[in-house]
Amino acid sequence: MSSILYDAPGPRTRRRTMVWSVVGALFVLGLLYLAYRQLDSRGQWEPERWQIFTEPPLGQSASDVWRSLLIDGLGATLRAAGIAAVIALALGVLLAVLRMAGTRWVRWPVTTVIEFFRGLPVVLLMFFGVIAVGLPIFWGVVFGLVIYNSAIFAEILRAGIVSLPKGQSEASYAIGLSRWQTLFTVLLPQAIRRMLPSLVSQLVVLLKDTSLGFIIGYAELLRRLQLNTQFFGQRYWFQFFVVGAAIYIAVNFTLSRLAVYLERRGTAKAAGGVAKADDAAIGGTTATGISV
């Protein structure tokens, strides 16, 4: 393979690469072995510890544990994320439209509001929702997620609209569409399509951010992990952590794959192409905001 940094290798380089591969593999295996031994010295591999998920002690059944994690925990996480995503998307479209309004009396305040909300930590917004607005915990979590993410969605959509070829709006004005008709029937549909990967990867961020509910006391997945360790004992923290992490990674990974799939499909179909999901995921060079 050729890359920016090196040519397609010849026989000697291939041999050298081979050697370094082995060295690299030893390095990685060494790290894994160290981690394994550290865990082993703490007795984390004892079957008894992992039986917490098959035959838990204290008169609980395995289904009790799994229900508290998957139905109550993951369920609460997905519920908050789902509701917040719907409201934030709707609000994001509204903010994007207002931000591109003709009069500066609308445009400037909306721009200021978006910049403000983008610059604040989500957990602070959740805390504000609960303690200052007086919302119940669930709606406090949703409040924080909606305020922050609608600002980000608005920026993603605006970046999408700006990136469209100028001919699109010129042509729609030329055939006599009004400003709003142009926006809603010509520009927005294309912008949404073009930015779909970015929107989906922002949804992954939103899902991850529901975990901030842990801090303000919303009983989502991570809080369930903690409640379980409080009930069964701190010594089970590692086991619960592993399962919790696996659940989160599985759900997010599926969503991330969806973003990549949409990106591929979009590049094949859409004439103007589709913005890369990574741009949003790492707060790339486009004005798609920061979704770290």
Chain positions contacting other proteins, by CB under 8 A: 2-7, 9, 13, 17, 20-25, 27-28, 38-39, 41-42, 44, 115-116, 118-124, 127-128, 131-132, 204, 208-212, 214-216, 222, 225-226, 229, 234-235, 237-238, 241, 244-245, 248-249, 252-253, 256, 278, 281-285, 287, 290-292
CA angle 276, 280, 285 (to 5 degrees): 85
At closest approach, how far in Å is the CB of 150 from other proteins? Answer: 16
CA angle 255, 290, 272 (to 5 degrees): 70
Torsion of CA 4, 7, 9, 14, to 10 degrees: -40
At closest approach, how far in Å is the CB of 279 from other proteins? Answer: 8
Q: Is residue 288 helix, strand or coil?
A: coil
85 or 183, CB closer to other proteins? 85
Q: Say how far apart CA 166 and CA 147 lie, in whole Å.
A: 31
At closest approach, how far in Å is the CB of 189 from other proteins? Answer: 28
169 or 252, CB closer to other proteins? 252
29 or 62, CB closer to other proteins? 29
182 or 211, CB closer to other proteins? 211
At closest approach, how far in Å is the CB of 262 from other proteins? Answer: 17
130 or 191, CB closer to other proteins? 130
182 or 276, CB closer to other proteins? 276
Closest CA to 63 of 76, 47, 52: 52
Q: Give the CA distances from residue 139 to residues 65, 70, 83, 177, 248, in Å, rounded to whole numbers and listed in that order.
A: 26, 21, 10, 40, 22
182 or 291, CB closer to other proteins? 291
Sorted by sequence, the CB contacts under 8 Å of residue 289 that are 6+ apart come out as 118, 151, 152, 155, 156, 202, 280, 283
Per the listing, tokens 């992990």 go with 225
Q: For 37, list phi and psi in degrees, rounded to 5.
A: -70, -40
At closest approach, how far in Å is the CB of 173 from other proteins? Answer: 28
Q: Is 274 within 8 Å of 197 (Cβ atoms)?
A: yes
At closest approach, how far in Å is the CB of 106 from other proteins? Answer: 21
At closest approach, how far in Å is the CB of 93 from other proteins? Answer: 23
Kindly state the helix (H) or strand (E) to which residue 280 belongs, with its residue range: helix 277-281
